[in-house]
Amino acid sequence: MIKRHRWSITLAISLVICFLALQEVAVRRAQALSNDTYQELDTFASVLAIVQKNYVEPVTTKQLIDGAISGMLASLDPHSAYLTPDLYRDLEVETRGSFGGLGIEITIKNGALTVVAPIEDTPAYRAGLKAGDQIIKIDDDFTKDMSLTEAVKRMRGPKGSKIKLTLHRNNVPELFTVTLARDVIKIQSVKSKMLPEGYGYIRVTTFQENTGDGVEKAIDEFESKDHGKIKGIVFDLRDNPGGLLNQAVKVSDDFLDGGLIVYTQGREENQQQKYFAHKKPGFVDYPMVVLVNGGSASASEIVAGALQDQKRAVILGTQTFGKGSVQTILPLDDHSALRLTTARYYTPAGRSIQAVGITPDVDVELPKETLASITQEGGEFDENPEIHERDLPHHFQNGQKKDQNNPAPGTSAAPAPGATKGDDNGPGAKGAKAKEEKDVQLDRAIDILKHWNTFKMQLAKGEPAPAVPGATADSGNSN
């Protein structure tokens, strides 16, 4: 009896202690939230109860809460999102460079699900999807009011499974449908080759795990082919939507001999970060041109901005996308996660490119599309097919004054509205079966490398980009 009595007393004391501990946690949380917040949460709870009681079909609390969280984050900016456990798992797989799907970058523009760019050597690329295509239906379901998260989920799937996309294209008078077979998207993020003129060419399609290693391997191969020397490099970041920050830093470090690469600023102390390149014995400052366009975003802009501010390379092409924000993945207890915008990033010269982009030193547009080049009857060409950060709903500004938004280094202004998207050798191209067209941006880059000393001297003096003999950079109509 005594033992039983002691056990009862011990259990009672334990329960009291647990109750007091929980009360303490509740008090602390209450202190962290304002009265206004609790009033709004009361409203939310009322709406939740009304919907569950009166909606035409039964709906679970989890469905409603997930939808509320998704809507809350979507209202902040285009890049914050709620990741369900499945989507969080997909994201982890994607950063390793392999996932089941179509190989397509999408966003919401003017309320419509819109293609930013197809990724090279994927079902979307081979089917001829183009930047600016609006996805009206996925299978038989309209995409109006469909979230990006839901659209991505619908397009992912096992290899070989079919999906039907109904598209609207600006130069096609009627909607058309394409059927694609999903594939395992294995993105080879780094591709390299030697150009006929003896210069190295490196293309980075996205920044994922091991991208930095791939770039270093390409540099080593170039050096081994030319007795330890590099004549010059064209570094192609066109239509590269970004990726991992640490890989952008590593790639920048490969081309720099010390100095600041990028820094971030957010509201919390741990969001104030600076990233530096290492000093390298025997570093050779070989000629280098970086190609960019409206599809170059985020991590691509970090690299281009660092190389531009440190006067390491000439940036050539058209104005970049303008995504100057940092997203942090915050895991939750149920294996879901928040992708939350937590900071802005700045180039070494202190430029925030959020909603502005990197202005190239040499502005070279691709030939504009003409009615004569459109094969569809009744076709029209889009005067402004590029999508930039400033076009997206809920985008935020860069927090700098207007005279700071611009462009530092560089002698050219932002491209005119007629600039076309992408290059025909990368994402955003017209598809694998399209007619090969001349890459005027690559040609101009090679011309600059050939006349490097003259070009660098004039650019260093702040003079306009010099005309180079034999250059074919004019953005006139193609024949």
The per-residue pLDDT for range 50-103, each reduced to its tens digit, is 999 999 999 999 999 989 998 999 889 888 989 888 888 877 776 666 678 898
Which tokens in the block code for residue 316? 């050539």
pLDDT digits (tens, 9 = 90+) for 349-364: 999 989 899 999 999 9
Are 211 and 176 contacting, i.e. CB atoms less than 8 angstroms apart?
A: no
pLDDT at 199: 96
Which residue in the list 130, 231, 250, 323 is annotated as catalytic? 323
CA distance between the termini of the chain: 102
CA 470 from centroid of its chain's CA atoms: 35
Of 304, 176, 196, 194, nearest in space to 240 by CA: 304
Residues 257-315 pLDDT 10s: 999 999 999 999 888 999 999 999 989 999 999 999 998 999 999 999 999 999 999 99
Number of C-alpha atoms within 13 angstroms, CB side, residue 425?
Answer: 18
Mean pLDDT of the chain: 79
Note the pLDDT of residue 48: 93
Residues 6 or more apart in contact with residue 10 via CB below 8 angstroms: none
**Residues 6 or more apart whose Cβ sits within 8 Å of residue 449:** 197, 199, 231, 232, 234, 287, 289
Q: Strand locations in 281-364, DSSP E?
A: 288-292, 314-317, 325-331, 337-346, 362-363
| 8 Å CB contact between 162 and 123 | no
196-245 pLDDT, tens digit each: 889 999 999 989 889 999 999 999 999 998 777 899 999 999 989 888 89
Per-residue pLDDT, 369: 52
Pairing outcome for strands 314-317 and 362-363: parallel
- Judge whether 298 counts as a catalytic residue: yes
Structure tokens at 389: 């950060």
Q: What is the pLDDT of residue 30?
A: 43
| CA nearest to 138, candidates 106, 110, 167, 104 | 167
Tens of pLDDT, residue by residue over 68-78, are 998 999 889 88
Q: What is the pLDDT of residue 111?
A: 82
What does the alpha-carbon distance between residue 425 and residue 439 come to, in Å, rounded to a whole number? Answer: 8
Q: What are the C-alpha distances in Å from 353 to residues 344, 397, 413?
A: 9, 9, 14
Annotated catalytic residue, options 133, 236, 239, 309: 309
Please report which helix (H) or strand (E) contains residue 133, including its range. Answer: none
| Contact in structure between 259 and 227 (CB atoms under 8 Å) | no
Q: What is the DSSP letter of 61?
A: H
CB-based contacts of 68, cutoff 8 Å, min separation 6: 44
- Report the distance separating Cα 393 and Cα 111, nearest Å: 8
- Which residue would you say has higher pLDDT here, 152 or 395? 152
What is the reported pTM?
0.70
Between strands 200-204 and 233-236, the pairing is parallel
Catalytic member of 70, 298, 352, 412 = 298
Average pLDDT over residues 25-43: 66
Q: How confident is the model at residue 40 (pLDDT cuts 50, 70, 90)?
A: confident
pLDDT band per the 50, 70, 90 thresholds, residue 108: confident
